[in-house]
Amino acid sequence: MSGAERLTAADQDAFEKACHLAFHEVAHPEEIELYKRLTDPRRMVGVRADGELVATGCVLPRELTVPGGSVPVAGVSGVGVVAGHTRRGHLTAIMRTLLDDAREPVAMLWASEGAIYGRYGFGIATRSMRYEMQLDRVALRRDVALPGAPPRTLEPAAALEQIQPVFERVRARTPGMLDRGGHWWDKRIFDPEHQRDGAGPLRAAVQDGPDGEPAGYALFAGKSGWDDHGPAGSVTLRELVAETPEARAGLWRFLLELDLVRTLQWRLGPDHDPLTHLAAGNDAINRRAGDGLFVRLLDVEAALSARTYAVAPDLVLGLDDPFVPECSGRYRLRDGRCERTDAEADLALGAEELGAIYLGGTPVTALAAAGRIRELRPGALAEAATAFRSAVEPWCPEIF
């Protein structure tokens, strides 16, 4: 198997070119400049063939909200192998180096192909729901409490000062959400014309609360369209974040009542968005679940001690972690703290399963029913299922 080398700032242009080529994309100069601002070259790795980079990967450090707190995370990104160089162990070499070098207790990624990353100990920790709806068939319930005034529409850059505090307050209580320091807001509102697929520019709708301060926002873009039946425009919703039910209802009223629009699509919504309970006759809202954030633990004691639990568990977890064998062993989770132990295990599970349940979004019982978590002490499964559950559904609204 080939080895991965640690790269430097001199390799950044070649890194971006190879990564885009692996995904069959054109590396536009403005995208390269954005990613160069986001990426620490000291955390890039690559594999070369005949002097050219043919496989890439990097870590983007972020802060991840977990139940009851937050934890530093290694955001694994830019992972790709150029066509003609696949099936040679390059991906494993990249992942080996990235995880060996990681300084954070938790790693995370979005998977282009979900079947790949279980072998490296990553489990599906959040779901990503695609919502599609015909706007002439969707209306809000008559008893929905609405704000007094409609949202204000702004260019996203002009809205940042107003929407950033809203995001931060919601992020602090929503497992799966990530901080947006540095240039991450630049990426979130990045809107080059070549990525619009014929749509208009990205817009921000800002919904004020009763005190006149922003309480919610939506990032969206409209696309004009016509057919024999008249206007057939569409709207793509990039993100909707709201602090209160009234702010959320105001934003949805605005989106559902846009003129000349027939359809709306939201790719990265929560698994159970309140929209389905705001709408009358939500059978007109098509929902399709997909994979969201993949998580794996690199420092089990620190990661499990960083979150809170629905009930105070007293459990011994027997962990099998072939890719990071130093993480294998038995861990006692008691009084909100996790420590290694020699006690007999109550549950047996792998790194992939531990990552999946970490944010409280994947039920322990579902993995047990699939034979992927084994109960070794009667009653331990029910205890773990209750303890790991999150009161707030985990959601990651952005791909990094």
Q: What is the mean pLDDT of residues 39-48?
A: 97
Looking at the DSSP bridge assignments, the partners of residue 230 are 227
Q: Given pLDDT bands bounded at 50, 70 and 90, which one contains residue 282?
A: confident
CATH of 294-387, one of 2.40.70.10, 3.30.1050.10, 3.40.50.300, 3.30.413.10: 3.30.1050.10
Supply the pLDDT for residue 212: 96
Q: Given pLDDT bands bounded at 50, 70 and 90, which one contains residue 322?
A: very high
Q: Given pLDDT bands bounded at 50, 70 and 90, which one contains residue 264?
A: very high
Q: Given pLDDT bands bounded at 50, 70 and 90, which one contains residue 2?
A: low
Q: Span 5-104: which CATH code?
A: 3.40.630.30
Supply the pLDDT for residue 392: 96
Q: Are 61 and 39 in contact (CB under 8 A)?
A: no
Domain ranges of the chain: 5-104, 130-289, 294-387
Q: Is the pLDDT of residue 1 over 60?
A: no
Q: Given pLDDT bands bounded at 50, 70 and 90, which one contains residue 127?
A: very high
Q: Given pLDDT bands bounded at 50, 70 and 90, which one contains residue 27?
A: confident
Supply the pLDDT for residue 306: 98
d(CA 272, CA 284): 15
pLDDT digits (tens, 9 = 90+) for 68-85: 999 999 999 999 999 999
Please determine whether the domains at 130-289 and 294-387 fall in the same fold group of CATH. no
d(CA 373, CA 214): 44
Supply the pLDDT for residue 17: 93
Catalytic residue among 122, 131, 323, 400: 400
pLDDT digits (tens, 9 = 90+) for 228-249: 888 889 999 999 999 999 999 9
Q: Are 108 and 300 in contact (CB under 8 A)?
A: no
Cross-sheet strand order for the sheet of 294-297? 5-6, 44-49, 52-66, 69-81, 106-109, 294-297, 123-124
Q: What is the mean pLDDT of residues 23-28?
A: 91
The token duo for 139 is 């209306």
pLDDT digits (tens, 9 = 90+) for 130-187: 999 999 999 999 999 999 999 999 999 999 999 999 999 999 999 999 999 999 999 9
Q: Given pLDDT bands bounded at 50, 70 and 90, which one contains residue 66?
A: very high
CB burial of residue 380 (10 Å; 0-12, 13-18, 19+)? buried
Looking at the DSSP bridge assignments, the partners of residue 263 are 134, 234
CATH of 130-289, one of 3.40.50.2000, 3.40.630.30, 3.10.20.30, 1.10.1040.50: 3.40.630.30
The token duo for 226 is 């016509």
Q: Shortest CA distance to 400 belongs to which of 77, 120, 85, 31?
A: 77
Q: Is the pLDDT of residue 312 over 60?
A: yes
Place of tokens 């990032």: 219
d(CA 297, CA 317): 13
Q: What is the mean pLDDT of residues 38-66?
A: 97
> How large a percentage of the chain has pLDDT more than 90?
95
Supply the pLDDT for residue 221: 98
Supply the pLDDT for residue 69: 97
Supply the pLDDT for residue 257: 95
Average pLDDT for the chain: 96
Is 400 one of the catalytic residues? yes
Catalytic residue among 15, 35, 117, 167: 117
H or E segment at 134? strand 127-134
pLDDT digits (tens, 9 = 90+) for 181-198: 999 999 999 999 999 999
Q: What is the mean pLDDT of residues 277-285?
A: 87
d(CA 159, CA 203): 9
Q: Are 106 and 307 in contact (CB under 8 A)?
A: no
